[in-house]
Amino acid sequence: MKKLALHWRILLGMAAGVAFAALLIQFEWGKGFIVDWIKPFGTIFINALKLIAIPLILGSLISGIADLNNITQLSKMGVRTLAIYLATTVIAVSLGLVIVNVIKPGSAVSEETRTQLLASYEKDAGTRITAAEKQKATGPLKPLEDLVPENIIAAASSNGNMLQVIIFALFFGIGLILIPPDKAAPVKGFFNGLNEVVLKMIDLIMLAAPFGVFALLAAIIAEAPGPDLFVALLWYAMSVVLGLALLYCFYIFLVWAFTKKSPAFFLKGIAPAQLLAFSTSSSAATLPVTMERVTEHLGVDDDVASFVLPIGATVNMDGTSLYQAVAAVFIAQTFGMDLSFGTQLGIILTATLASIGSAAVPGAGMVMLVIVLAQAGIPEVGLALIFAIDRPLDMCRTTINVTGDAVVAMIVAKSLGKLGEPKAQDWDDRLEEVI
């Protein structure tokens, strides 16, 4: 087991959970055994992911924003980079929402299975309905008012207030940029250290992922045995992959339109970084290779690449943002929830801001999805429906994340007159050395 890569162990855990539950539900006592003795381990795993959501935002987002101090007060490069990153993220989330609303993968769940799911989480659903009714009684600007907490400690005590924590982290990061470097250094050091600790915690949690997936899948089989649920999961996965494919085509168009480089040129130059991103599911692990490919094979100036790409590894998570939009609406559809236009606009805003704090490591997108679900009033327990197939999708969306970073680097370099000819013509010659 230890010799296998994590994604293979997760897939084995998923298969084992399905087989285990399929066997036990043949016995009269099987469902009760799974619910009482297996499902709690899946719940513990989800709680562990939720546990580190707020520390992850504070460490990752504040560190990322504070890194902007290597330029003078929002220079041309900084403004253009952040503007393009935010624009592509909004487009990615919007694309995901369009696809999931057209395909409606959650509609494949039958009324009977949906009823079983709602009955299983009736208490949680009732809490959400009560909160929604309370929200209706407030004024039209209440959501804007709620963006700014009166007490950050109180806001950080609930995952439902995650957007307030993001706003605080952004504000705090900007404050670090504006104070003297010698004063900011110890604070930045603290949050950099916090970020490293949280990333290591994610590593430790992901070691338990195969067992968590085993418990989650076994519980899903036992509590919702209808095969239509798995049909829905297949449609969900297809919706995410379709969205990522369309986003990839959009990137190719941007390269052609803004830099006048051919798709073949771009694909040939960035391919090794894409392959590494796919295999590691980590933008951070891929960053050294991405920088080498962008500077040596795509012609981006070193100054541009050294700024745009590290920031992009934290801020630009287009693939993750698209996935969060599709996943949130899919879970809502599965639970029979009809999300209003306003709620879906809130998903765009929340997913965009959450992607800024999404760490460039495997599994972080699932943690950030908790933010989107909580803010949209969708039961977080719905994570159990999608986590089993999250790892393969994580590999795909990380590839899109890295591709987006490279595209933005080329566009920014072109706008500043710093996009030249490649320094190395052979796209394979230095990959092994760089790794």
Average pLDDT over residues 54-74: 67
Q: Report domain extents, the chain.
A: 6-434
Angstrom distance (rounded) from CA 85 to CA 24: 49
- What pLDDT, on a 0 to 100 scale, did the predictor assign at position 73? 43
Query: Above 90 in pLDDT, residue 255?
Result: yes
- What pLDDT, on a 0 to 100 scale, did the predictor assign at position 284? 65
- What pLDDT, on a 0 to 100 scale, did the predictor assign at position 410? 93
Q: What is the pLDDT of residues 373-420, one digit of tens each?
A: 777 777 766 666 676 577 678 878 888 999 999 999 999 988 888 887
Angstrom distance (rounded) from CA 331 to CA 76: 41
Average pLDDT over residues 15-37: 90
Average pLDDT over residues 314-322: 81
State the sign of the Cα–Cα–Cα–Cα dihedral 91, 385, 226, 114.
negative
Q: What is the pLDDT of residues 100-137, one digit of tens each?
A: 889 888 776 666 665 655 555 555 544 544 544 555 56
Average pLDDT over residues 77-82: 79
Average pLDDT over residues 207-226: 76
- What pLDDT, on a 0 to 100 scale, did the predictor assign at position 245? 95
Least confident of 98-107, 116-125, 249-258, 268-277: 116-125
Query: Above 70 in pLDDT, residue 41?
Result: yes
The answer to whether domain 6-434 has CATH 1.10.3860 is: yes
Angstrom distance (rounded) from CA 147 to CA 150: 10
- What pLDDT, on a 0 to 100 scale, did the predictor assign at position 23? 92
The answer to whether 243 and 326 are in contact (CB under 8 A) is: yes
The answer to whether 270 and 293 are in contact (CB under 8 A) is: yes
The answer to whether 61 and 313 are in contact (CB under 8 A) is: no
- What pLDDT, on a 0 to 100 scale, did the predictor assign at position 58? 82
Q: What is the pLDDT of residues 234-244, one digit of tens each?
A: 788 899 999 99
The answer to whether 49 and 366 are in contact (CB under 8 A) is: yes
Greater confidence, 128 or 261? 261
- What pLDDT, on a 0 to 100 scale, did the predictor assign at position 227? 58
CA distances (Å), origin 155, targets 28, 162, 168 = 45, 7, 10
Q: Which residues contact 357 (CB under 8 A, 6 or more apart)?
A: 56, 57, 60, 61, 64, 166, 169, 314, 368
- What pLDDT, on a 0 to 100 scale, did the predictor assign at position 404? 93
Average pLDDT over residues 255-262: 91
The answer to whether 323 and 240 are in contact (CB under 8 A) is: yes
Average pLDDT over residues 40-69: 76
Token pair of 63, please? 């560190």
Greater confidence, 180 or 276? 180
- What pLDDT, on a 0 to 100 scale, did the predictor assign at position 340? 76
Global pTM? 0.65
